[in-house]
Each structure stands twice: as C-alpha cells, then as structure tokens.
Structure 1
Amino acid sequence: MFSYRHAFHAGNHADVLKHTVLIHTLDYFNRKPTPYWVIDTHAGAGIYDLADKWAEKNAEFETGISRLFGRTDLPEDLATYVQYIKELNLGEDLQFYPGSPWIALEYMRDKDKLRLFELHPSEVEILTDNIQQQDAQIRRQVSIFEKNGFEYLKSQLPPPTRRAITLIDPSYEDKHDYRHVIKAMKEGLERFQTGCYLIWYPLVQRKEVYDMVQHLQKLPNIEWINASLTIKKPSKDGYGMHGSGMFVINPPYTLYPALEQILPYLKEHLAEDAHALYTLEHVEK
C-alpha cells in the first residue's frame, strides 16, 4: 500500500503538464483579491532533491523538466513554469524539483490557505519537516493531515471564502483509485459546485482510465477541459505509463487557449518516439 514515492517520478513529463496547469490556475485565482484555499489530496513530500537515490532510481526528470530547462523558445506558460524552477534552484543547475505544495506556497498570497493530505507515513513526515522549516507566516497558512484525501476532501468544502482550487493526483497504483476519484468528485461538487478541481491521471493500458474520464465528462452542470499528452507508444507488455492527462472542472477561461500553445510544444520536445500525440477537449455550460 505504501510502496509509492513521488520522488521516483519527480520532474517527469507528467509533472511538467500537471504543474504548468497548476501554476496557470493559481495565477488566475490571484487576479481577484478575495482569498482562496488550495486543497491537495495527495501532497507528497513537498520538494525533492533530484540527486537523491529515489529520484535517481529512474531519473525521469531527464525526459521531463531537463528537456525544457535550457530552452529559450518556450510558450508563455511553460516559460513561467521553467522560470520558477530556475529560481527555486537559484539560477544554478537543476537539483531541486517542487511538488504541488511548494508551487502553491510560491503563488499564494498571505491571506490564502493550503490544506495538505498525505497518507504515506514517510512522505508526511518529510512534508511536515519541510513546512516546519519555513517562516511563521507560511506555517500559519498550512494545515497538514495524515489522512486519506479522498475521504476527507468533502470535510474541507465549501471553504469560507467560496473560492478553492482542489488538486487530486493519486498514484493510481491501486486500481480502486479511479473509482475513488469519481466518488470524491461527486461528493465535492454536491458541497461546492463552483469549485475548481484539477484531476491528474496516468495514461496506462487500463480500462479504468477511460471509464473514469467518461464518468467525469458526464458529471452534471460543470464546465471541463480534458488535456492529455502521450509521449511514446504503449509497451507491448501493458506495463508502464506512456503519457498523462489533466481533467479540469470549472477551469479558468484562460486555460484552454494556453493549452493550445502548451500541448503541441510538449508533444514535440518531450516525445520519446514517433507515437507522441496530444488531445484537447472542452465543454462549456
């Protein structure tokens, strides 16, 4: 149950897509003065050392963020994302990669709140230590829960400010996670219909992936964007991830045109073979 460590995959192609979408959404929410919450159902450790044994095990960052780190022709949103990674590394070589909690803390204002759920005992210990090392203002903004984010999401909704970004990105190592996402979204929308929900999913050869996306598309009274990036041909043995996607419920109106620029670029520069492709769909109310 607790075998998954996000450090194995830190900075890979999936993180590039997920975190570019997250930064765009945070930036959009910052346009209004009203405070908001960020709720992360599977927070991980917060930040990762790419020289660590966990990250070096597969070195997936080499075919993700590393391919973009030195480029000067990036579309605007990718340029913003890469610039943040560079600033995190103090303009030096790529060593540290942020998880979604670290990105949220960078973009949130002092009046905004961050709610982090992490059930992995080692990850939550590191996450807690990382947050405790920050200044008092940041510590006041953050609440960490060693609980199942699927089950406790509804307890956070609706936030007092009626503005929130919820990120749902489990490992999906447990195939029941696909059903858990659907259940959590149904419960979340019942409590907070107007919330913005970012749902990451892997592209793997499992029927559950496509069933989950279809269920999400049929949820009532929502707008949505579904963006996916395939970087290589699926393996013959059926194992491994050949891409990933982001399903965004109640997205910023600026996100779709941004993805129209982001996805073709990522397809070209993160491709591992000639089977790379992307899809981009959306439905408005």
Structure 2
Amino acid sequence: MNYRHAFHAGNHADVLKHVTVLAICDALTAKPAPVFALDTHAGRGLYALDGNSAQRTGEAEGGIGRLLAEAPADPLIGRYLQAVRACRAEHGKASYPGSPWLLAHALREQDRIAACELQPEEATQLKANFVGDERVAVHARDGYAGIKALLPPKIGDTKFARGLVLIDPPYEAQLEEFDAVIAGLREALGRWPQACYALWYPIKLRRSLQPFFRRAATLPVKSSLLAELLVRADDSPLRMNGSGMLLLNPPFQIEQKLQPALNALAKVLGEGPGASARLEWLKTAQ
C-alpha cells in the first residue's frame, strides 16, 4: 500500500469526515458513561500543511483553507474550526489534525482510543504524536484485523457499552475496497452491535456506488444514514468529486444537526454548479 494521507490532509473530504466525527463524539460524551473509539486506518494523526506533500497537491486550500477564511455560522462547523485552531495553537499554525488527534481532543479522561495503522513509518509517527497520552493505544497493524482483535472493547475491568468505530480506508483498490468494508462492518457489528459506526467513502460516479449502498442497507442495524458532500457534479470517473459518510446506529437526531452543516459546506467548498449536500436514510428505526 502506497497511500499517504499527507497529500490530502485538510481537503474537502477531511472536512466532511472530521465535522461528522466531532458531532458523533459530542453526542456520545453528552452522557457520563465511558466511551471507546477505534480508528481503523489512523494515519499519523497530525499533518503539516506547509510540508512538501500537502504543498504538492494544494488540496487543503480548497478545504480547511477556504473554510477558515469564510467560517460559516453553523454550530458543527464552528466546533470543527475550534478544534483545528486548538491543534494549531499546540502544534503550529500550519498543522492539521487527523482523526486520532480529533478523537483525543473531543473525548474525556475516562474514555479510551485505539488507533490502528499498518504502514510502519506512519505508525511510528502516530505513536510519537501520542506519547504521554494514556488514553490512546496505537496498534501497528491492519485495521480490519484490529476489528477482530479489539472488539468488543474491554480495558482492565472496564467494559464499554458505548462508542465509535471509524473506518477510513484509502480505497487504493477502488471499488474492491467495499468488499473488505462490508465484511469488516459485519464482523464488527457481530462483536459490538450497539456502537456507532462511521465509514468514509469517495464519490466519483454515483452509479458505481449503488451496489455498495444496497449491501450496506442489509447490515444488521436499526438505522443507517448517508451524509454526502459534493464539491462538483459526480459525473467524472477520473477524480474525486465528493465523499460521504455511512453512519450505522447514528446518534439520535444527528441528521437535524448535519443537514445545515452540509448545506453550508457545499456553499463554501463548492467548485461549480454541481456542488451539493445529501442526507439519505438507508434504514430507519421502527
């Protein structure tokens, strides 16, 4: 696997993913019970947007760069920008937080985080970024294997009834990754059925996603929600036109908070008349 997220850190897909993840974390921590979060494809957890990788693509300028400049008045977006600013106050003005950093930022002292990363160099840096934070356990291993090893979560005498599993694979194998994704979600749900699951996926041609949506609708959950952000029309197979989050067992009424945030993101980050936002229930609780 050759993927390095440093080339794409802070782009429109990261914005969607991280706004959504923070919204879920805040819903989970609204109750006092401890929370466990598993990040299956964690990366290094912290990125420098002035580094060669990010500068080479310039993708962050159309994502977090544009959003910081315009800062739309939406609570979820404001929460996300607050977290980015907190990261920059701690690590420098060009830093950008990956999902493990955001999980550590949003969760509490009693909560625990497991972050899996297969690439040795990235895993080493991930460990370095969380030295001294006893809440975060870094596993240099395949994320799908981590699902089998780490779920259901139990640390010491604590069994976690509530939590989040974030699955954010690189999709280097394009649509073949969805086979691994569906298998991983089925495995995870069999082990920890009450957790919230958040899967990120890229959007190029929408029709190519329909088989995945049909399979996702059969997963054994009470509710599943799609949250999508397109920055341009989804009619080009040669580039990522947007992305989405498949949310299984999402927090109660999260769609009411996500909809205005997604609409604002489409307006600010859109690159043409095809920019749009979409929420769709695949399955709703009876």
What TM-score, normalized by structure 2, do the two folds share? Answer: 0.92
For residue 43 of structure 2, give the secondary structure of its aligned residue in structure 1. coil
CA distance in 1, matches of 2:142, 2:207: 24
- Distance in 2 (CA, whole Å) between partners of 1:149 and 1:206 is 26
Letter in 1 for 2:220: P
In structure 2, the partner of 1:243 is: 242
Aligned CA distance change for structure 1 residues 122 and 208 (closer, same or farther; 3 Å): farther
Counterpart CA distance in 2 for 1:264 and 1:121 is 38
Q: Distance in 2 between matches of 1:217 and 1:192?
A: 18
Q: How does 1:26-175 map to 2 (within 5 A)?
A: 26-90=25-89, 94-132=93-131, 135=132, 138=133, 140-159=134-153, 160-175=159-174
Once residues 146 and 253 of structure 1 are traced to their aligned partners in structure 2, the CA distance between those partners, rounded to angstroms, is 34
Provide the rounded CA distance (Å) in 2 between the counterparts of 1:268 and 1:94.
Answer: 25
Q: Deviations over 1:188-214 (max 9, x none)?
A: 111111110000000023865332222
Shift of 1:83: 1.5
Report the 3-state secondary structure (helix = DSSP H, G, I; strand = E; otherwise coil) of the residue aligned with 2:69. coil
Distance 1:130 1:108 in 2: 17
How far apart, CA to CA, are the structure 1 residues paired with 2:239 and 2:93?
A: 26
Question: 1:70: how far off?
Answer: 2.9
Number of the residue aligned with 2:274: 275
Q: Which ranges of 4 or more aligned residues in structure 1 deviate by more than 4 Å?
A: 91-94
Structure 1 segment 191-206 matched on structure 2, within 5 A: 191-205=191-205
- Worse-matched range after superposition: 41-50 or 189-198: 189-198
| DSSP 3-state at the match of 2:89 | coil
Q: Which residue of 2 aligns with 1:284?
A: 284
Is the 8 Å Cα contact of residues 164 and 196 (structure 1) preserved in structure 2? yes
Paired residues of 2:11 and 2:63 also in contact (CA < 8 A): yes
Whether the 8 Å CA contact 1:204–1:239 is kept in 2: the answer is: yes
Aligned length: 278
Evaluate the alpha carbon distance shift between residue 275 and residue 206 of structure 1 in structure 2; reply closer, same or farther with a 3 A threshold.
closer
Residues 148 and 208 (structure 1 numbering): CA distance in 2 closer, same or farther, change over 3 Å?
Answer: farther
Q: Is the 8 A contact 2:204 2:241 kept in 1?
A: yes
1:49-100 CA-partner distances (Å, limit 9, x unpaired) = 0011111110111000111113353211101111211222229995110000
Offset of residue 235 of structure 1: 6.4
CA-CA distance at 1:30 after TM superposition: 0.8
- The unaligned stretches of length 5 or more in structure 1 are none
1:73 is paired with a residue whose SS is coil
1:222/1:284 contact within 8 Å kept: yes
In 2, the alpha carbon distance for the partners of 1:284 and 1:112 equals: 28
Alpha-carbon separation, structure 1, partners of 2:198 and 2:242: 17
Match of 2:156 in 1: none
Rounded Cα–Cα distance in structure 2 between residues aligned with 1:119 and 1:143: 14
* Pairwise CA RMSD: 1.8
Measure the CA separation in 2 of the matches of 1:90 and 1:174.
Answer: 37
SS at match of 1:90: helix
Do 2:204 and 2:235's aligned partners in 1 also have CA atoms closer than 8 Å? no
Tell me how far apart the structure 1 counterparts of residues 65 and 39 of structure 2 sit (CA, whole Å): 25
Sequence identity, in percent? 35
How far the C-alpha of 1:279 sits from its partner, in A, is 1.5
- Pairs within 5 Å for 1:12-27: 12-27=11-26
Q: Which amino acid aligns with 1:150?
A: Y
In the superposition, the TM-score normalised over structure 1's length comes to: 0.92
Instruction: Tell me the amino acid that sits aligned with residue 211 of structure 2.
Output: D
Letter of the structure 2 residue corresponding to residue 4 of structure 1? Y
